[in-house]
Structure 1
């Protein structure tokens, strides 16, 4: 019998690689016991990059979500882990050192055991400080190698980086094969090199299934000494996500490894509940193409999770491109033609930009440059005319050293713009800022939160946090959700009137008890703004007022808890007795 292989359920990444949003705290509280009951997971990825940010985007408190998810897992003896972007921490751009340091203190207090620290450039200067900060806070730092396939990303290249990270104190190494393009034989040799030199170090493999190599890669890394494998579960496995735990377990068991048994009754319950979350609201923001695998990803090297945003970009410019082509007397391009052209441009651009591993945020930078180049080429103009500031920061060395050499034309372009290259420690470009955020918290009278977690959220995601605190984020999200629902209905062949009837059928009307003028705001205690689509009313809340012909204001109560799906009477509109003022859907959609 071969060695024991443990499994880690990457529940956060299952959602992140599928769509835009993460489950709410109440949903995480419901799924955690079933994950535990499955009995096959030593670890669960609970939070990290994008998790906090997207919670804020739909108006929920991410700190509550993290604590809610980690608590039952901890009590069951399952380790929890998060994804951490090194210099960028939990966001897409660099973070001051004092904010990075605070992150580990907060996350450890919230119940997160392990932080998976990666840098999109594999820049050790961005990872090593986080190893130190995590240890100081009591967390386990798992240093990460971002896997890609290029002439410079060899076994020797990765082995040297692993040596440096282990020497800096990392007790674990993760092979993050974010696009799933790491070749199985190379990955196996890399694990063998690490294990032969550092047998005490835990090696965890994380491989996406996009181009179809992941199962072969899992078998290779296990044969060469890997300890833990990241897995997913239906209905969010395969496609651009991760292999399903059932298939991985069957393959490894057959190969003679000791693997945990799966409680299939619990698996089916968790599968059904996850589908319920999709049907609730998360599915409206999942690109269906993320359920598909594509060998085309082997050529461009882009992570599967980017396919949704990339296709949205292409759909957005598709009609404009064809208008340009029409004006030039050329044949229009199909979306497939455009996809192939963009993939080919990524292949052209990537080496000239120094082969940055195509992971957040550098995958976005390379894709954006390629997309802009495609647009310019179709117009008959030259490449490289539209490069954003974040991409220039990467090119100039402000994010760290690029793995490969920049093309001479890129160097000349930078010089022509008067830009300067740098090789200093990237963190020096981003001075401490916590005192400024403390001042803002104090001025607003905001509570720092348990273990300074609210201060941390403001410092990490300031714009999103301010929108969350003001209520703007929730309103914006509910508006987006309603648009997504309407678009789904329209796509199903329903016209506007049919959609309206469908929404009304699921809702209850607010009826005018008397003839009069509808007022959302009066000089007595009452509503301050007109109801918007998605706004929630409690059963005992004043919905609006009717100004009667005899000069009285009559309160109209909601009478049940629900959300607005349609407003039928505008401010000041005259209604008759029995007219519908609005429709509310009875729901507990958000706590």
Structure 2
């Protein structure tokens, strides 16, 4: 209920469909170790794209499934966000999560950086949650030529996590890089040193070796593995539940799970998945692909990286993006790749493809390039310290004098005043609109939470709509039912929609609600958009600076008449959570600024004109 649809459907599965399947799960699968249904990208996407409250999702599922432990993915000192937070934020977040229904916290850090892991583990312990600390797996322990992440590296990491008080150990293979031989070596090495430590294996089936890895894991002494129901398994998702259950029947590892019930559960999601077709990863991936052993793209990132590529105009170059991902990883020092470090590699890869840069060309032109914000922040040390340190001299050249941090990023942050934030939100949106959980959502994603509340105030609880209606809207004359609360259902039929009213940009919609005829005027945002063509940059004129990618202008840092130096920041662009700082390649005076904050631009749109000095 989390990673499968994050990996296959860009995390777009709605609470509406999870609720429908929950009673079946509670009745027929009570022996599950846990049900992972929260954390990771679900938190952000719930608000940003599905217009739902992630906390409400958790509470509703807890009510429907009272008999199976709930598990979430916690990004250590990042909680479910992409930034570092003060320690009291992580503690408050974990306590709220327990209050809403989470039992087991899989705590990881994107660089396996122990100080960040410790913050998350201690916060879970204080909240009386089950601590499942994770080692994030990369490389190949069965390959003697891959020396950076060898068995010694992982066993030492496990020793430290045991000392820090983990209850369960997770081996988090987020890209599906484990091979049966490597699985055997890794699990057996840990089991020999820690005979009583519960071991939980997580992998993705990108290359198609998932079930084989799990069989090897059980033989080597693992206790728990992650699967996805058959119709939501395979490729960048987890290995198949039915396949594993069948493979273990009549063996000493027989699960006791009823295969017929697995098939029935799978049939529900097979039909439901059709509703999410626009978000399928199968636009470019039709089958398992062993190239993951080369590019090492995490399963949960694959579809989001694909959507980012399309939004940046790189949809037809996704194979180039995957190749660049391999190069970007090497440039960054061969790092562990999982959110947020995987995003950094992805941002750099797309930056390289967008600007037609090879690794060699990037290094040669580093002084003239405006790198994505995530890459700059990584090089500063703002997500932690990578194994083996940062790549030099590339780090120093990219930072161009910016401060470097060698301590835990959140260690110097002051405790956050939650009451102050709550009062500010209530003042802005109204007392009745803000709950305690909204304050925490704001801390994680301020702009996303504000947009979610504005949407909720304008349109009400759209999570009540069935999924097809939510995504595409009703057909004319089609009767639809919307249960707005238990026992209260609206019967609605859209009868007619008027032509566009040119002056107001509205259309009049005629419909019935419970048999009563009504009408209202609705703004047609698509028809009222400004379709002016933005001028393109003339690449023969050095004084013209263009947008390096499509996106939204977040902030303009200069104004007309300003004297600027080469390398000075001009503005900040954002596209699909990827931010890029645009710097001047020349010194001069700002002649004209062609964009404003909030404006959408395309690649090579003219943004700044200079007078050269």
TM-score (structure 1 length as normaliser): 0.74
Structure with the largest fraction of helix: 1
Structure 1 position 70, deviation (Å):
2.1
Match of 2:53 in 1: 61
Aligned equivalents of 2:510, 2:229: Cα separation in 1: 32
Check conservation: 1:108, 1:137, Cα contact below 8 A. yes
Q: Deviation per CA, 1:257-286, whole angstroms, max 9, x where unpaired?
A: 23222251x333322332343344x33322
Aligned equivalents of 2:156, 2:409: Cα separation in 1: 20
Match of residue 301, structure 1, among 280, 283, 296: 296
Match of residue 181, structure 2, among 165, 181, 185: 185
Secondary structure in 2 matching 1:215: helix
Q: Where do residues 392-431 of structure 1 align in structure 2 (5 Å cutoff)?
A: 392-414=376-398, 417-428=400-411, 430-431=413-414
Check conservation: 1:207, 1:242, Cα contact below 8 A. yes
TM-score (structure 2 length as normaliser): 0.71
Match of 1:582 in 2: none
Secondary structure in 2 matching 1:206: strand
Match of 1:286 in 2: 280
Aligned equivalents of 1:108, 1:59: Cα separation in 2: 23
Check conservation: 1:67, 1:111, Cα contact below 8 A. yes
Q: Where do residues 45-194 of structure 1 align in structure 2 (5 Å cutoff)?
A: 45-57=36-48, 58-74=50-66, 76=67, 78-149=68-139, 151-194=147-190
Change (3 A) 1:71 1:200: farther
1:543 maps to 2:519: yes
Change (3 A) 1:395 1:536: farther
Match of 2:237 in 1: 241
Match of residue 35, structure 2, among 44, 50, 56: 44
Of structures 1 and 2, the one scoring higher in RCO (CA 8 A, sep 6+) is 1
Match of 1:577 in 2: none
Check conservation: 2:211, 2:244, Cα contact below 8 A. yes
Aligned equivalents of 2:221, 2:512: Cα separation in 1: 53
Aligned equivalents of 1:178, 1:171: Cα separation in 2: 21
1:463 maps to 2:447: yes
Match of 2:339 in 1: 360
Match of residue 10, structure 2, among 20, 31, 43: 20
Secondary structure in 1 matching 2:431: coil
Check conservation: 2:497, 2:507, Cα contact below 8 A. no
Change (3 A) 1:319 1:453: closer
Aligned equivalents of 2:497, 2:195: Cα separation in 1: 75
Structure 1 position 456, deviation (Å):
1.8
1:440 maps to 2:434: no
Check conservation: 2:184, 2:216, Cα contact below 8 A. yes
Check conservation: 1:96, 1:433, Cα contact below 8 A. yes
5+ residue gaps in structure 2?
Answer: 140-145, 480-492, 529-613
Structure 1 position 168, deviation (Å):
0.9
5+ residue gaps in structure 1?
Answer: 1-10, 321-334, 487-499, 522-528, 546-563, 571-591
Check conservation: 1:21, 1:54, Cα contact below 8 A. yes
Aligned equivalents of 2:192, 2:314: Cα separation in 1: 55
Match of 1:310 in 2: 305
Check conservation: 1:51, 1:62, Cα contact below 8 A. yes
Aligned residues: 495
